[in-house]
Copies of this chain bind each other. A is one copy, B any other.
Amino acid sequence: QQKSLGGRGLSCKGVYRALTIREKYMRLAYQRFPLTTSQYLRDIEGEPFKPEHSVQPVFTSPPKEGEDPFNTKFLPENLSWVARMKDGVIYVYKDAAEADQHKPIENMPGPHYETFIDDMNFLIALIAQGPTKTYSHRRLKFLMSKFNVHEMLNEMEEMKELKLNPHRDFYNCRKVDTHIHAAACMNQKHLLRFIKKSYRVDADRVVQNIKGKDVTMKELFANLNLHPYDLTVDSLDVHAGRQTFQRFDKFNAKYNPVGASELRDLYMKTENHIDGEYFARIIKEVASDLEDARYQYAEPRLSIYGCNPNEWTKLSGWFNKHRVFSPQLKWMIQVPRIYDIFRGRNFVPHFGKMLENIFMPIFQATIEPHANPELSIFLKHVTGFDSVDDESKHSGHMFCTKSPKPEEWDIVKNPSYSYYIYYMYANITMINQLRKARGMNTFQFRPHCGEAGAVTHLLASFMTADNISHGLNLKKSPVLQYLYFLAQIPIAMSPLSNNSLFLEYAKNPVLEFLKKGLIVSLSTDDPMQFHYTKVRPNWVPEPLMEEYAIAAQVFKLSTCDMCEISRNSVLQSGLSNEEKTHFLGADYLKEGPEGNDIRKTNVAQIRMAYRYETLCYELNLIKEGLKTD
């Protein structure tokens, strides 16, 4: 008893500090932290709570009637500032002279390296601390039982609220596919149809040039000795089956139609002999289907690898040339964690150069928009960064004060997940401060995290990410799971993807997380590999509905549950303030029931009140716990 009391005090102190750590790093990078939690933290510190201290990311509003999203006229003027990388992080200076003395422009502070490591080590210790594990475990168990009771008491009341709510039901409340890769955003049937169609029209078109020799599409397929007319989804073979379970490598191979990388290059790349024309067209077909569906949005990821600095020029060139814009799509950049491969092939001399290739062009375009018009336009429509790769690949390296700086990291070995995450976060922080200062949109950090591998991944994201994709491994760490709840960190979950790769559907924690009050949304990840429902001229694209329908069926979700998940997806997404106001209501930034407009969200106020009171109760418990021993 005494001990558990002592334990409680200790745990609450730890949890309190953990929350202040996240709050600090979120604010620094213009990422979100719940007002309610901040309020309790100030309360604990005896400080007055100043809402104006809370920050919000800035996203570009959809173009007004008749406005051209590609118009470069209104880009901010060029500045003479200088951007330069130091210790893996890019800083901005008034001019070269100040750069030489490393005197960055004030009020653009980056994260402090040593402090970050300290904070990280503190959290590593905390999540392993016995009493805190017990405390968190008990709280989570309580949250679960509490929701079950809420459900038994109020399910019917919630349903009644929804029945009395005119016009709005699950079908016409807005949903965002918060995690989807552009290269797999079409489903297998759609891709098959597109390949056949392109062959009927373009058989004699030159689509490749191998060592100076032009290759037509007809020849390309002839070399693969197959004829598109005979292709089926079976021979296309892009769908994940039982074979991919626990085999991320096999899964990656599924990106190659008919196992041929040539076809992946031709149809799913922005850079190829036809300037990514087919890929652009496929994405625009998906977008126009979403426009028909009206209530669905998606956040496709495009890749930047960091092999060389003009990747951005090419990608933004593709985006502008083919005018790949749709109000239904919010773009994200995914950076694969494959330095080791590039280094092995001598594409980059060290990790610092990779970071520079990834981030420097953004700084330049932000400082001199008119010198980089296409990139500047593209960046307006980019809402965040993702960090991707197989998390189960273990890296021997351990991120600490002694870790070599990126410019010194010239070995072929891959740095650890945390090392990647820190340097992406640090550079995004600097970019956001610069762009905020210039009145431009900012970027969120939304890495893949906790799909597999060590729980420390989830710790790194707790410190740096606005929200994450997957989060399955929160099951393995009660402390982190409780912290993700208290900080209300959104988690884009993809149970169908997990089902093919890492975890059987019925075992997916999505229901458990939802009940406990974690902020989950549903996403498709890779419709091409995971989903069945069809798309074709005047058929609706249903992958996201398939995701919702299966979860609803298997987990017996109520309408209120499904609408709460939809609402979460809009909040988590990079949709602009205008759009969120339109889809969720004018007060969507407020927390608790007053932030909910049931006429738009179809989420019962009883549910909102339950969530709000539950969060406050837990935060208050920590406040009280600090007073014990």
Bound-state Cα–Cα, A130 to B232, Å: 50
Bound-state Cα–Cα, A237 to B558, Å: 12
A552 interfacial contact with B, CB 8 Å? yes
Judging by beta carbons under 8 Å apart, are B170 and A233 in contact? yes
Bound-state Cα–Cα, A278 to B137, Å: 56
- Chain B min CB distance to A154 (Å): 13
Binds B, one of A161-169, A210-218, A318-326, A386-394: A161-169
A549 interfacial contact with B, CB 8 Å? yes
Which chain B residues lie closer than 8 Å to A550 at the CB level? 549-550, 553-554
Contact for A540 among B235, B532, B540, CB less than 8 A: B540
Scoring A residues 202 to 245 as 1 if CB is less than 8 Å from chain B, else 0, what string do you get?
A: 00000000000000000000000000011011110100011000
Which chain B residues lie closer than 8 Å to A171 at the CB level? 189, 233, 534
Contact for A242 among B164, B554, B558, CB less than 8 A: B558
Q: Which residue of B lies closest to A239 (CB)?
A: B559
A163, A237, A506 — most chain B CB neighbours (10 Å): A163
A538 interfacial contact with B, CB 8 Å? yes
Judging by beta carbons under 8 Å apart, are B232 and A554 in contact? no
A443 interfacial contact with B, CB 8 Å? no
A505 interfacial contact with B, CB 8 Å? yes
Q: Which residue of B lies closest to A541 (CB)?
A: B539
User: Which of the four size classes fits the interface of chain A?
Assistant: 35 or more
Scoring A residues 157 to 195 as 1 if CB is less than 8 Å from chain B, else 0, what string do you get?
A: 001001111111111000000000000000001000000
Q: Give the number of times this chain occurs in the complex, counting copies.
A: 2
Tell whether A496 pairs with B169 under 8 Å between CB atoms, given A234-B162, A234-B559, A538-B538: no
Which chain B residues lie closer than 8 Å to A568 at the CB level? none
Q: Which residue of B lies closest to A189 (CB)?
A: B171
Bound-state Cα–Cα, A377 to B553, Å: 40
- Chain B min CB distance to A147 (Å): 14
Which chain B residues lie closer than 8 Å to A164 at the CB level? 235
Scoring A residues 44 to 77 as 1 if CB is less than 8 Å from chain B, else 0, what string do you get?
A: 0000000000000000000000000000000000
Bound-state Cα–Cα, A538 to B288, Å: 14
Judging by beta carbons under 8 Å apart, are B549 and A533 in contact? yes
Contact for A545 among B169, B237, B499, B534, CB less than 8 A: B534
A556 interfacial contact with B, CB 8 Å? yes
Contact for A234 among B232, B534, B552, B602, CB less than 8 A: B602
Which chain B residues lie closer than 8 Å to A545 at the CB level? 532-534
Contact for A167 among B230, B546, B552, CB less than 8 A: B230
Which chain B residues lie closer than 8 Å to A235 at the CB level? 163-164
Which chain B residues lie closer than 8 Å to A25 at the CB level? none
- Chain B min CB distance to A269 (Å): 24
Bound-state Cα–Cα, A506 to B506, Å: 7
Bound-state Cα–Cα, A168 to B236, Å: 12
A542 interfacial contact with B, CB 8 Å? yes
A548 interfacial contact with B, CB 8 Å? yes
Bound-state Cα–Cα, A408 to B159, Å: 49
Q: Which residue of B lies closest to A242 (CB)?
A: B556
Bound-state Cα–Cα, A505 to B551, Å: 11
Judging by beta carbons under 8 Å apart, are A163 and B496 in contact? no
Which chain B residues lie closer than 8 Å to A540 at the CB level? 534, 539-540
A233, A242, A552 — most chain B CB neighbours (10 Å): A233
Bound-state Cα–Cα, A548 to B549, Å: 13
Bound-state Cα–Cα, A556 to B232, Å: 20
Q: Which residue of B lies closest to A245 (CB)?
A: B556
Bound-state Cα–Cα, A171 to B550, Å: 19
Judging by beta carbons under 8 Å apart, are B163 and A553 in contact? no
Judging by beta carbons under 8 Å apart, are B237 and A163 in contact? yes
Bound-state Cα–Cα, A235 to B161, Å: 10
Scoring A residues 99 to 140 as 1 if CB is less than 8 Å from chain B, else 0, what string do you get?
A: 000000000000000000000000000000000000000000
Bound-state Cα–Cα, A534 to B540, Å: 9
Judging by beta carbons under 8 Å apart, are A553 and B505 in contact? yes
Scoring A residues 477 to 509 as 1 if CB is less than 8 Å from chain B, else 0, what string do you get?
A: 000000000000000000010010000011000
26 residue pairs of the A-B complex, CB under 8 angstroms, read A155-B242, A159-B234, A159-B241, A163-B234, A163-B237, A166-B230, A166-B232, A167-B230, A170-B233, A171-B189, A242-B556, A496-B553, A499-B556, A505-B553, A505-B554, A531-B549, A532-B545, A532-B549, A532-B553, A533-B546, A534-B542, A538-B538, A539-B539, A540-B540, A550-B550, A550-B553
Q: Which residues of A contact B (CB under 8 A)?
A: 155, 159, 162-171, 189, 229-230, 232-235, 237, 241-242, 496, 499, 505-506, 531-534, 538-540, 542, 545-546, 548-550, 552-554, 556, 558-559, 602
The 10 closest A-B pairs by CB, nearest first: A169-B232, A166-B230, A532-B549, A538-B538, A539-B540, A169-B233, A162-B234, A163-B235, A506-B506, A163-B234
Q: A167-B230, A168-B232, A171-B233 are in contact. List 5 more A-B contacts (CB 8 A).
A: A242-B556, A496-B553, A534-B545, A546-B546, A550-B550
